[in-house]
Each structure stands twice: as C-alpha cells, then as structure tokens.
Structure 1
Amino acid sequence: MSLHPPIPYLKAEYIETDTGNKVSRKATIAGPRNIILGGKTIISSGAIIRGDLRRAGPGHIVVIQLGRYCVVGEGCVIRPPYKTYRGNFNYYPMKIGNYVHIGANSVVEAATIGNHVEIGKNCIIGKFTIIKDCAKIADNTVLLPNSVVPALAHMSGWPAQFIEDLPESTEENIEAQTKQYYNRFQPVEAD
C-alpha cells in the first residue's frame, strides 16, 4: 500500500499534451498561443489563464510562461500584471518557474515567480509581485502589488508579513512534492 494514494481524475475531463501537461477541459485557457507550459504541468478544473491580454500597440503579445512540474489549482486566476499609461492598459509578461504549486482559488498577477515556490489556497498575489526561489506563501495570504518576497521566506497574512526563514532543504522538498503530485495525478475511466 502506497503512503501517497493516487489523485484520480476523469480521463475524459483532461487533455494530455505530448510534453505531459494535463489541462482540464473545464479550465479557461484564453489566448493559448501566448501561454507556454514547460511540461508535466497540471491546469485544474475552473482555472483561468489569460494569455489573450495585449500591450498597447499593434502586435504586442504578452506571454505567460509556466515551467515544468507546475500545478495550477482549481479556480485559480492567472493573468499578466498591467499598468495604465496615457489611458491605455499595458499588460506585461509573466514568468512562473519550475516546481511551483498554486493552491485553489488563488489570483496571481505577479511579474515573476521563481522555482520551487508554494502558494497556498485563496491567496492574492498582487500586480508586479516578484517571488524569489524556494518561497512559501501561506493559505489566505495577500501580497500587495509590487511586493518582493525573498528566497527561502515564509509569508503569511493580510497584508503578507514575513514569518520565518525556510530551511535549505526547501528546494528538494518542494521539487519532490510537485513531482509526487504529478505522478499521483492518475486518469480513471468514467463508470
């Protein structure tokens, strides 16, 4: 008996790509040409990823990039950060690193999220936030716009406050957790 049971999902409800991404048919992927998934990434049911938002001016495409072994939880909203300039909304690219787990119902408008980052459920990650490698954002945390979260920091609260430094082993722990989650995420046939 495995210590970590499988996480079942209905095979018909997910699309699996050649690179091992598993994308729920109940997720909204707007502007898919502008969204890059690194491989072995899970986009859960009800998640919304806005790759359809543009910078002012012709042909300025904003790209959302997610690394490998990322999990976007149910009901998450990921949209690029924006500024208003001379009455125009200007959207900017967003880069999310490898081994990033974003909990259910979180809203992310960060500029950059590093590698090995854990974001809890019901979080708000404000516009242009930068989260460095190996950080942990607790459930129900609000990071104000333009926040910078240092590497190995544990943040919590509304607005977010520094709680503690995380151990050096955080990188290996988060990498193991995200790979394990991906491997446990197994298709089942509908009855």
Structure 2
Amino acid sequence: MSQEAPDELSLALDLEAPPIYYNKADYIQTASGNKVSRNSVLCGSQNISLVGNSVVKPGVVLRGDLQLLKIGKFVIVGDGCVLRPSYKKYKGNIAFFPMSIGDYVTIGPKSIVCAAQIGSCVDIGENCVISKRCILKDNSMILPGTILPPDTIVPPLTVFGGIPGRYLGELPESQPIVQKEHAMTEYRRFLPSAKSGGATPKASTPKAKAAKSPSNAQLSP
C-alpha cells in the first residue's frame, strides 16, 4: 500500500468528524484530485471546468450545455444538486450567462443553484434555491431551506436565510478561515472504502450515458 493513502486516512481520523467512505468503483478520480460520481450528469462536459480537489456527489446535474461552468478547488457539491447557468430574456430570446464558483465552497444536498457568480469561502445549506443572476460575494453564508429571489446580491461576511431569502446578520472576520477549513475537511474525510479494490475502473463503464459522462469534462491535471 502506498504511503499516501495512510497519510490521508490519518488526516481524516484527526478531524472531529468521522471519515465518509465511498465505493471507488462509483467515482471517477482525476490526477488533480477531483472525485466525480458516476451517477452524476454532466451536460456539455466540454464547457465544465473543475480546478481540482472537488467532490461531485450522486444525483448532481451540471448544465454545461447552456453556458460555461467554472468550479474552483475544494468545492463540495452535495447529493441531488442542480447547477444551472442563469439567463435573461431579451427581445424574445433567452441569453444564458457563464457561472463561476470560487474556491472552498460547500453546497448542501438538493440545492438548486442558478447564480451568476459565487465567490470563495461560501457555504450554501441544503434544500436552497439560488435563483437566476444572484451574486454571492466571498465569505457569505446561505442557511438551509433558503430561497433567494432573482438578482439578489449577498454581501461579504453576511448571512441570508428564509423564504424569500433576506439579510439576517453579520459573520465574524474569521469566517474565511473557518469555511476554508470546513471545505478542506469535507474533502479529506471523503475516502474510498477498503473494499473498493485497488484499480480505478475504466472511464468507459459509468452508469450514466456516455454523452453525459464526467470523464470528458475539463478536469485539470
């Protein structure tokens, strides 16, 4: 066994939260450390860029077929999330805008994100709806179950929550450090189970259709 695997396990065991084990056959792992579920759907994979050390969990839908979708490092996309570029109607036509997501971002399960931009060190809770053209600035937080109306701008170091989502308070200046550590922790504790086997499955065997396989996305080396 390589030395790298025990080191990762020891890091995970040092954390307050226990490791989360997954079947290695159910994920595609790239050289840059991205872990993409074979049960996720990447539409227009040529327009999807994952910088590295991110996790895309089962049931996630990434709509790169509509516009460019750029995802930074240490981004955790929870089960069943949908990331879809925002749009605006203009003279009877629909224009889609690129979506960019910064580093150290966590998106809770079953959230729908149509934002124009999400900064770094942002925490989005589960079951949220981030409507079209929203902008979430660096170091902000969206509480679980929040529905942000279209064109909402969430300032840095603020918390938004409720239906519709509204300003609820300020975050401490330490929030960037806390969120960065949280995102890195979530990545480190997500480990392949010992029963997964050694060899990484070939990219030609995902459960999703070949045209939507994450193996063709721009997963940086």
Q: Give the TM bin, normalised by the shorter chain.
A: over 0.9
Question: 1:143 matched to which residue of 2?
Answer: 148
Alignment deviations for residues 45-71 of structure 1 (CA, whole Å, 9 cap, x no partner)? 000000011xxxxxxxx2100110000
Of 51, 67, 81, 2:64 maps to 51
Alignment deviations for residues 101-141 of structure 1 (CA, whole Å, 9 cap, x no partner)? 00000000000000000000000001000000100100000
Q: Which residue type is aligned with residue 56 of structure 2?
A: I
Number of residue pairs the alignment of both structures matches: 183
> Which segments of 5 or more consecutive residues in structure 2 lack a partner in the other structure?
1-12, 198-221
Question: 1:110 matched to which residue of 2?
Answer: 115
Of 17, 30, 34, 1:21 maps to 34
Q: Does the alignment pair 1:182 with 2:195?
A: no
* 1:27-42 equivalence runs, <5 A: 27-42=40-55
Aligned identity (percent) is: 43
Query: Which runs of at least 4 in structure 1 moved beyond 4 Å after TM superposition?
Result: none
Larger Rg: 2
Q: Which has the higher contact order (CA 8 A, sep 6+)?
A: 2
Structure 1 length normalisation: TM-score? Answer: 0.93
Question: 1:59 matched to which residue of 2?
Answer: none
Question: Which whole-Å CA distance do the structure 1 matches of 2:166 and 2:84 have between them?
Answer: 24
Report how far residue 88 of structure 1 moved. 2.0
Question: Which whole-Å CA distance do the structure 2 matches of 1:8 and 1:153 have between them?
Answer: 33
Q: Which residue type is aligned with residue 105 of structure 1?
A: K
SS of alignment partner, residue 167 of structure 1: coil
Question: Which whole-Å CA distance do the structure 2 matches of 1:43 and 1:79 have between them?
Answer: 14
Question: Which whole-Å CA distance do the structure 1 matches of 2:135 and 2:124 have between them?
Answer: 13
Question: Which whole-Å CA distance do the structure 1 matches of 2:196 and 2:187 have between them?
Answer: 20
Report how far residue 190 of structure 1 moved. 4.8
SS of alignment partner, residue 67 of structure 1: strand
From the two aligned structures, give the one with the greater helix fraction.
2
Question: Which whole-Å CA distance do the structure 2 matches of 1:164 and 1:92 have between them?
Answer: 30
Structure 2 length normalisation: TM-score? Answer: 0.80
Question: 1:58 matched to which residue of 2?
Answer: none
Question: Which whole-Å CA distance do the structure 2 matches of 1:150 and 1:84 have between them?
Answer: 26
Q: Which residue type is aligned with residue 39 of structure 1?
A: G
> Which segments of 5 or more consecutive residues in structure 1 lack a partner in the other structure?
54-61
Report how far residue 87 of structure 1 moved. 2.4
